[in-house]
Structure 1
Amino acid sequence: MFCAAAETAAAAAPAAKSRWEALKSSKAGVWCRSLLSDYKEAYYSSFDAVLLERSNQLSLLSPWNRNGSSDGHVQSLVKLRNEGRLRHASLGVLSLVYYADCDPDNTLYETQCSNLSVRWRELHERVLDVGFAGRWWILNSKMQDYDVNDDEFKHLPPHMQVTLPPSVQEVERNESLHKESWLALTLTDEDLETNVIFRKEESTTEESQMKQPKQEGA
C-alpha cells in the first residue's frame, strides 16, 4: 500500500510541477509577476523619497533645535542607503526595509555567495521599517517632534521641563484676540479732538523753530 502511494505521489509530482510551470508562463502569471515587481520597486522608491524628504526637513533646522532621536535615526538610514546596504522585502500588503552587511555590487566572495546572504530567520533582527497603507511607520514615529531638542531643556528644573497644552478657555481667548486684530479701527469724538489738538501743537512747534534762526540773524 505504501509503495503504491509513493508511486502515485511520484507520478503526480511532475504533473503538478508542469501545471505550475504552465501557470507561471501563462499571460495571467506573467502579468501577476510584473505587477508584484512593479509594486515592490514603487514601494522601495517611496521609502527613498520619504527618507530624503525627512533628511531635508532636518537639514533646514539648526543642530541645536534637532531632536536627537530623529536626527540619529535618519542619519543612520541615509548612511546605510549611501553604502548600498538597504534592502526591501515585499510581503503582499506589507513591505519591509532591512539592512544587509554589504553592497550587492561588491565583488567580494562574501557578498556573492548565496549561503552567506541574510537568512529569513534573521530578518526580524535587521528590520528598519515597515510599510503599510502608504506609510512608513517607524520613520514617521521617529520624526515626531523632530524640531524639539529635549537635551536643550534637561538642565531646567523638573516643573519647567513639562509643557501642557493650552486649555479651551485660552484657545478661545487667543482666537478672539486674533479676530479683533483684523477689525477696522474706530475713533470716538474724544479721540478726534485729541488728534486735532496734537496736530495744532505740532504745527506751533514747527513755526517757532522756523522763526528762531531769523531772529538770531537779525
Structure 2
Amino acid sequence: MASLRVARRMFCAAAEGASAPATKSRWEALKGSKAGAWCRSLLSDYKEACREIVVGARERPLKASVYATLLGGTWACFHTKPDYSSFEAALLDRSTELGLLSAWNRNGTSDRHVQSLVNLRNEGRLHHISLGLLSLVYYSDYDPNTTLYEAQCSNLSVRWRDLPQRVLDVGFAGHWWILNSKMQDYDVNEEEFKHLPPHMQATSPPSVKEVESNERLHKESWLTLTVEDREMETKVADRKEERVSGESQIKPLKQEQTQA
C-alpha cells in the first residue's frame, strides 16, 4: 500500500510539472495572437480616451460642466418618462376630482376634456407610444381587438404623418402636461360669469394689508365680549334708534309744510 501511495504522489507531481509550462505557453500564445493584440489596442484606446476626458475637464471646466449637465438631464428625463399606467391613474384621479363637484361648479373645458378621454379609454381607442425622452398618448379610429376589417388591416392603421393630429397628451419629466393644463381652475365655472361686465369678470388677488385686516377681523370675531363692549354696542344701537325716530318725525312735518 505504501508503494502505491508513493507512486501516486510521483505521478501527480509529474503531471503538475508537465501542465505548468503548457499553461504558460498557452497564455503567451494568446497574448501574441491577433485577438490578444486587438484587446491590448482596445484597452489602450479606452485608457487614452479617459485620460483626454480628464485633461479636457481640467482645462475647460465650464464646457465639461455643460456636457455633464446635459447628460444628467437626458438620463433623468429618460428614467422619469411616464408610461401608460401612470396616464390612466392620472385620468382616473382627475375624473374623481370632477365627480366630487356639482355640475354648476365644474369648468366646462376641464369636464369636456376629461370626459372625452374617459370615453376613448372605455372604447379601447387610446394608445401609448414611447419616444425615448417623452411619451405620447394618441387615439385611433377603432379598437385593435375588434374583428372589423378596418381595425385589423395594417394599411388602414394610423400613419406617422397623421400622428401629430391625433396626439392627446405629452408625458415628460413625470408629468402629463396637457391634462394638467386642462385641469387648471377645474372648480371654476366660467360660464356663470360670462354675462358680467369685463371689469367684474377679472379678479385680482388681495393685497397684504387686506389680508392682514381680514385675519385680524376673523380673530376678533372669536373673542368674547366684555361689559364695556356691550355698553358701547347698546349706545350705538340707541343712537341709531333715535336717529331713525327723528327722521320719521321730520318727514310728516315736511309733508304738512308742502301741503300748506
Give the TM-score category using the shorter length.
0.5 to 0.7
The answer as to 2:140 corresponding to 1:100 is yes
Separation in 2, partners of 1:143, 1:178 = 32
> TM-score scaled to structure 1, two decimals?
0.63
Deviations 1:144-165 (A, max 9, x none): 0011111111112222212111
Separation in 2, partners of 1:97, 1:177 = 50
Query: Partner of 2:209 in structure 1?
Result: 169
The answer as to 2:114 corresponding to 1:74 is yes
- Matched position secondary structure for 1:101: coil
Residue 177 of structure 1, CA deviation: 3.9
The answer as to 2:174 corresponding to 1:144 is no
Deviations 1:135-183 (A, max 9, x none): 100000000001111111111222221211111211222334445567x
> TM-score scaled to structure 2, two decimals?
0.53
User: Please, which runs of 5 or more residues in structure 2 have no aligned partner?
Assistant: 1-79, 230-260
Counterpart among 65, 89, 92 of residue 52 in structure 1 = 92
Separation in 1, partners of 2:156, 2:165 = 16
1:65 aligned partner, one-letter code: N
Separation in 1, partners of 2:218, 2:88 = 41
Counterpart among 75, 89, 105 of residue 129 in structure 2 = 89
Separation in 2, partners of 1:186, 1:108 = 78
Residue 107 of structure 1, CA deviation: 1.0
Residue 84 of structure 1, CA deviation: 0.4
Residue 72 of structure 1, CA deviation: 0.6
Query: Partner of 1:213 in structure 2?
Result: none
The answer as to 2:135 corresponding to 1:122 is no
Aligned-pair identity (%): 75
Separation in 1, partners of 2:170, 2:194 = 32
